[in-house]
Structure 1
């Protein structure tokens, strides 16, 4: 289909444009069950990850980015069936992405549905976020979990919204590669314990390092908030505490760096030991 025949939206007062722009607010994402993604890379990852992409909107002045033009012509997977393509003015692009220099393309995507069976695999590895509020940290942890082949990531209550535009952007597409579940940890963690999963977190008072823990067993890695660490309720349920050794003068690592170190030790033991 020629892009010249795609509908053109030029006014920020258009009802459709207002609806898309409203997805910048969490309450509207929750109400509609939809979220925004921006940039060529994320749109491609969503299509390849079989996410339900509803609409792709591109800057009419720049035209459809080359990679997406190829995708449009060659991809006949379920992800592209019934997909709406719209061209929009620079003003519309800016209003819907909340940036002064808007990307060449954004898309409207249905919220992801994750299979909870991935949480309880016998030798599985699941990352659990407890009150991680920074979108960059949360997105980076999802990316690291994806990189080491973790089974899933859980966002507990008090975490940043998974579908915040900054969170999504910082996952670099990993949000579409593994199950990510939003849940109440007080309900889910006892289920994990009952199914034999080991709950491991970090503590400055830990007796042994992360290199002494057996990461080959079924493990839920618990990572707490940037300022306070794990909540008392979650800390009480922890089976094991480990410490990341530091020999320099840095006082600590941020939560995303710490999670990445632990995840890569898990990968080393599981694949390269």
Structure 2
């Protein structure tokens, strides 16, 4: 199929996917760029509806072996209209959202990051990517978080969004379930007395990470088993939430898999 008109019905649907309302209504989102499109195609549990590419640029060489019936060629004007980036690569995919069962978050030595009102797409994407990298069980997104399917969030996950469990739910309910199962629930505080590196992370653990400006909301404090402090030896006032989360995740990985005998 080839589309040249900006008023084509497909194009109108794709443009709406640049908004949260459009993504929610269609239960789909846009994946831009050669790398992410290839990741989506190669992910067994991802339903790709269409791959859309510029007929003026042609199919990227990295994707020539993947071209199928569901591919649509369009003009550069259409690519630009449907793109969130300043310099589009000339290819994007329409992908269906995926739902995960939250049961796995409470099993065995679960390692979960619970995000409370994380608002920066880059931070959220980095947290998801880091959690995937260490083999965490999953990430939970509570109210106030930036949309998981925001184009910048999707790009920041670098493909983790396609195969890593990410669940959007009410944190109050989820943390209560974790607490009822005697799962350790931790959050960071500059005022905490407990050193993070002296905390036992080999047992099931959930980290609550909060809003960039306000931290974790007070109503979630009731579920915290222990407040911990990541030591800061220099003059920096604090750490970026994505950086702090990555540090916690990798210390957990070290304790579980790489502790000296």
TM-score, normalised to structure 1, is 0.92
Report deviation, 1:101: 2.2
Matched, 1:57 2:52: yes
- Tell me which residue corresponds to 1:123: 109
Q: 2:45 aligned with 1:45, yes or no?
A: no
Deviates more, 1:131-140 or 1:38-47: 38-47
Match of 2:63 in 1: 68
List, as ranges, runs of 4+ consecutive aligned residues in structure 1 with deviation greater than 4 Å.
Answer: none
Give distance in 2, aligned partners of 1:192 and 1:115. 15
Equivalent residue in structure 1 for 2:8, among 11, 14, 18? 14
8 A Cα contact 1:118 1:179, kept in partner: no
Partner Cα distance (1:93, 1:47) in 2 = 19
Let me know the Cα RMSD of the aligned residues: 1.2
Task: String of CA shifts for 1:216-262, please: whole Å, max 9, x gaps.
Answer: 10011110000000000112211111111011111111100000011
Distance across 2 between alignment mates of 1:123 and 1:180: 17
Distance in 2 separating the partners of 1:260 and 1:226: 15
Tell me how far 1:118 sits from its aligned partner. 1.8
Question: How do residues 29-178 of structure 1 correspond to structure 2 at under 5 angstroms?
Answer: 29-50=23-44, 51-72=46-67, 84-178=70-164
Work out the CA distance in 2 between the residues paired with 1:104 and 1:269. 44
Q: Does 1:250 align with 2:240?
A: no
Task: Using the TM superposition, give the Cα deviation of residue 22 of structure 1 relative to its aligned residue in structure 2, in angstroms.
Answer: 0.5
CA distance in 1, matches of 2:205, 2:231: 20
Counterpart Cα distance in 2 of 1:272 and 1:210? 17
Is 1:90–1:102's contact at 8 Å kept on the other side of the alignment? no
Q: Which residue of 1 aligns with 2:197?
A: 211
> Are the equivalent residues in 1 in contact too, given 2:117–2:211 (CA < 8 A)?
yes
Distance 1:53 1:179 in 2: 18
- Count of residue correspondences: 258
Partners of 1:226 and 1:215 lie apart in 2 by 24
Which range moved further: 215-224 or 64-73? 64-73
CA shift, 1:71, in A, is 3.0
- Give the distance between the partners of 2:86 and 2:234, measured in 1 at CA: 41
Write out per-residue CA displacement over residues 149-177 of structure 1, whole angstroms, 9 at most, x where no aligned residue: 00101110100000000100111111113
1:100 CA drift (Å): 4.0
Q: Distance in 2 between matches of 1:185 and 1:239?
A: 15
TM-score in terms of structure 2 length:
0.96
Moved more, 98-107 or 256-265: 98-107
**Are residues 1:262 and 2:229 paired?**
no
Match of 1:188 in 2: 174
Report deviation, 1:135.
Answer: 0.2
Give the unaligned 5+ runs of structure 1: 1-6, 74-82
